A and B are shown apart, each in its own frame.
Chain A
Amino acid sequence: MNNPFRVRGHGHVDPDTTLSFTFDGRTYTGHPGDTLASALLANGVHHVADSIKYGRPRGVLAAGAEEPNALVQIEAPFPEPMLTATTVELYEGLVARGLSGQGRLSDRPDPARYDTLHAHCDLLVVGAGPAGLAATLTAARSGARVILVDELPQPGGSLLGSQELLDGAPATTWAGDVIAELGTCADVQVLRRTTAFGHYDDGLVLALEKRTDHLGAAAPAHVSRQRIWRIRARQVVHATGAHERPVAFDDNDRPGIMLAGSARTYLNRFGVLPGRRGVVFTTNDSAYPAALELAEAGVRIAAVVDAREEVPEHWRTACEERGIDLRAGHVVTGTSGTGRVSRAHVAAFAQGRLGDRRGVDCDLLLVSGGWNPAVALFSQARGALRYDAEAGAFVPAQPLDTVRTAGSAGGTFTLSGCLADGADAARRALAAIGGTGRAVSLPATVPLPATVPLSDGAPAQVLWRVPSPRDGQDGTHQFVDLQRDALVSDVLRATGAGLRSVEHVKRYTTIGTAHDQGRTSGVMTSGIVAEALGVDIADLGTTRFRPPVVPVAFAALAGRNRGELFDPVRVTALHPWHVEHGALFENVGQWKRPWYYPGAGETMEEAVLRESRAARTGVALMDGSTLGKIDVQGPDAGVLLDRLYTNVMSTLEVGRIRYGVMCGVDGMVVDDGTVIRVAEQEFLLTTTTGNAAKVLEWMEEWLQTEWPGLRVHLTSVTEHWATIPLVGPRSRDVLALVAPGLDVGNDAFPFMSWRDATVAGVAARVCRISFSGELAYEINVPAWYGIGVWEALLAAGDAFGITPYGTETMHVLRAEKAYPVIGQDTDGTVTPQDLGMSWVVSGKKPDFVGKRSFTRAENRRDDRKRLVGLLPADERVLLPEGAQIIATSGIPEPPVPMLGHVTSSYRSAALGRTFALALVRSGTERIGDTLYVPLDGRTVPVTVTDPVLFDQEGTRRDG
């Protein structure tokens, strides 16, 4: 070993293997089992970074996730910002640097994989310390399905940082035995390096497993780096332990100032001495084992400063035996040092007054202000907290039906108590779900008093801050939140400004908002606020705990849902052909639809003009398979459709097609589409592509909840069919070629009818409907045959210049005819009448959904917005969709009276100019008027027209 601060005979690192790492440009060594923080301390490196606001040097305060200071940026093997050095496991080749508050995300894509697993269990135990292990063992031996998660690479939790004995052997031996036994239980899963970071409703706990982080560059590429576990547990035991909190005093932020229990962990878990000459400042018993164990291991303990007048006799004796200067009734009032603490200032403290100060030289100042149970998860689970005046901490008030705490997370601080509490929590949890927890014999602890026990003696003194010996006592040098550089004076400024709630103080000061969620600062803040306001901290409470408990990378949350897997992609049977022929795609819902097919060197504008010219003058075809299709079957199918569509569907003859509109009860258009009568008791209706699921749900809602007596079944058949609109004056010629058995004459096969036919050798349903105003056929074949029929149509149409077109051309063609797209030209405030489609509203039916609302006063207003056409005076100007419409050429002072907005806007090959559809107040009455569209700081004059701009007489649909 060449680590100057490593001691033999302590710790669980592997001293025979050396790992090389780089920190802030210098190379060091450590061992497997180290964290980055322990390896730095083993090399005597305390200064990790300078603070974000005041640029003060900061070191390592803690040994776990509660660390507020030691933020690092990993540079290699892959950049990752904002990790705590205390939780980064050391690996060969690690390159890191200290961070002043902010890191840097990688500018390259993360090559690692992340994934998610679901798991279910009877009992989830969070934490593998003494309480968690006892709970898991109890439940496992009772045959329950148990999951145990723990953030560390090895089991034991707090036992790893102590020298406790269980059954006369090191406590970690017992922990290892328990884990070995759990490994033999088929229904028990132990997840190491796994942190439960959120506790949600109904026993859902999210946990982050770091699977290969500790392997660095040696991580196998096929194993996911991190995994989110979504665990559903019938019962949960939080054995999450407790976090030590500091006490605020002047200059309490220097490197070398450390929590006492954390220093004990560095010795016992890592074999690291955090200094050579220490002063211990405590308000309770728990710092004594730290002082004594470090003294045994070679740290010169210059003084133990105990704020209490009364110190238990066994601690006095133990200090005396080791020649440690114990100063009861004293406090540390401040520190000196450049770069690292070099002296602690100690003074007597009684009745709130400080005595004379004396300096004690040291390179390590250990602090213990008591312990805060780690109740974040319990609080997230909506468990209530209460203030325990003796411990000076917030503890769970009572267990929930499905969630309970065990061990120090519940305020039990002795080892024997934690073991018993864990076993008891498991038995209660099993009883709550009708099981029985078997009694488990727990290992024997060393009874008190003994030389080195865990705290169990005199009551602690609750001390949030030491009065400042500086003038004014305003705490301008007393740090509360080290990461946020927030001071006691910031808290006092907040209360001085009138803030009375810790939630407000948190937001005013930013205390508790850093990566560590205020583990070392939150309760202290409540204490200082309570003192400043003269209220009881029990009434004041603490800030609300919110997930995640520890920072979680977005990459882990995203898991496999990245790139192509981010959202499901739906493609039609014809999709490969579109890709092969250079189509550009548009997302419509989850569908990929061909947008247009650019020829060589063609712009989108040129391509769309070419495609629409083909449809208006020759023949063109598109992929319409994404249209929603709902099969409606049953004796009452016609009755249901009559009640949901504004027009009559039950009178439709088999073989015929009708266009229909559905409205909500408010009379506003929900969707439109065609309805074909397949058979006496079967209809097939189409919906807008993006609306298919919504329409099906809408119909089911009425069928199931309002008219359950109707004998009708609804089935989505969208993906069963490939649908190919064949459009244009020459479409009849093309169809005749591929369907020689079909009489395509206008009389034999009139508009709005359908025929069964053989098309290109495939049984097809051909519908004569048109979404372009041209002569058109919609050819439907089973999806499997889609490409074959599509290619046959292309071959047959070759002589006529058949042209595939995309959604953009489809929109131009339909807008020229003022066929609205629901959701684009409507927005949930538009009636069929507003769209100029009174003809689709039946006057004969006594009622249908929406009818009553048509006679509401609001619906009868004559200044409703109506669908109209707009022709810009400059026929080259393309109005942006969504543009507002005003009455004057100059823009008046706000508020500007808005008359409506542009809903669709295109360039038209047929019209030789741009045009738009718009919803305009009293639009029908304004036809012929000039209105204005503000655009790029000027206004564009537009003429209001009838919405149908092409073939108003409808002469083209029959060819």
Chain B
Amino acid sequence: MQLIACPWCGKREETEFHYGGQAHVAYPEDPYALDDEQWAQYVFFRDNPRGPFTERWVHAAGCRRWFNALRDTVTHEFLAVHDSRTDQPATASTALASQRRKGQEAGR
């Protein structure tokens, strides 16, 4: 059970949070200027990188606030969480990501 550092409440268990997918996918300025394929890109398509990924999370069973986070999709390590109003890092993790990744690969 991972801990996620809510920018408002501090570290809480991951079951208190819901995942909101890739961050920085804004609602299009003018949806009607987009053709079907461009619109489908907004509705259905998201990045799926191996490594750091900027995501949205909501502290659903806590303060109900949404925030952005930088998470390593290999290790699940949260590298940073952001206050989504300013999108500035709220806390910085000591980044165990590379060490964990090594451990995982050795265990594979």
Give residues in A with beta carbon < 8 Å to B. Answer: 200-202, 204, 232, 379, 382-385, 397, 400-402, 544, 665-666, 697, 700-701, 704-706, 708, 847, 851-853, 856-857
Contact = CB atoms under 8 A, between A and B. Distances in A.
Contact of A401 (B1, B27, B34, B94): B94
B80 to A, nearest CB: 16
Leading 10 A-B pairs by shortest Cβ distance = A384-B106, A852-B31, A382-B103, A201-B2, A202-B3, A704-B66, A384-B103, A705-B66, A204-B1, A665-B43
Given A202-B2, A204-B1, A851-B31, A400 B96 contact: yes
Given A708-B85, A851-B31, A383 B103 contact: yes
23 contacts: A200-B1, A201-B2, A201-B3, A202-B2, A202-B11, A204-B1, A232-B3, A384-B102, A385-B106, A385-B107, A397-B106, A665-B43, A666-B44, A697-B18, A700-B66, A701-B58, A704-B66, A705-B66, A706-B27, A851-B31, A852-B31, A852-B39, A853-B43
Given A400-B103, A697-B58, A856-B40, A704 B34 contact: no
A544 B34 contact: no
Contacts of A232: 3
A232 B10 CA distance: 15
Contacts of B64: 697, 700
A195 to B, nearest CB: 19
Nearest to B31: A852
B84 interface: yes
B56 A705 contact: yes
A701 B56 CA distance: 10
Nearest to B66: A704
Interface of B: 1-3, 11, 18, 20, 26-27, 31-32, 34, 36, 39-40, 42-44, 56, 58, 60, 64-66, 76, 84-85, 94, 96, 99-100, 102-104, 106-107
Given A400-B100, A857-B36, 17 more contacts: A200-B1, A201-B76, A382-B100, A383-B103, A385-B107, A400-B96, A401-B96, A666-B43, A666-B44, A700-B64, A701-B66, A704-B65, A704-B66, A704-B84, A847-B31, A852-B32, A852-B34
Nearest to B85: A708
Contacts of A706: 26-27
Residues of B contacting A: mostly: mixed
B36 A201 contact: no
Contacts of A704: 65-66, 84
Contacts of B27: 665, 706
A401 B77 CA distance: 14
Contacts of B100: 382, 400
A577 B24 CA distance: 51
A223 to B, nearest CB: 27
A383 B102 CA distance: 9
A402 B43 CA distance: 41
A232 B12 CA distance: 11
Nearest to B96: A401
Contact of B1 (A201, A383, A402, A701): A201
Contacts of B1: 200-202, 204
A401 B99 contact: yes
Contacts of B84: 704-705
Contacts of A847: 31-32
Nearest to A206: B1
Contacts of A402: 96
A851 B11 CA distance: 39
Contacts of A666: 43-44
A851 B20 CA distance: 21
Contacts of B42: 665
Contacts of B18: 697
Contacts of A385: 106-107
Contacts of B96: 400-402
A161 to B, nearest CB: 31
Nearest to B108: A544
A705 B32 CA distance: 21
A232 B3 CA distance: 10
A96 B97 CA distance: 49
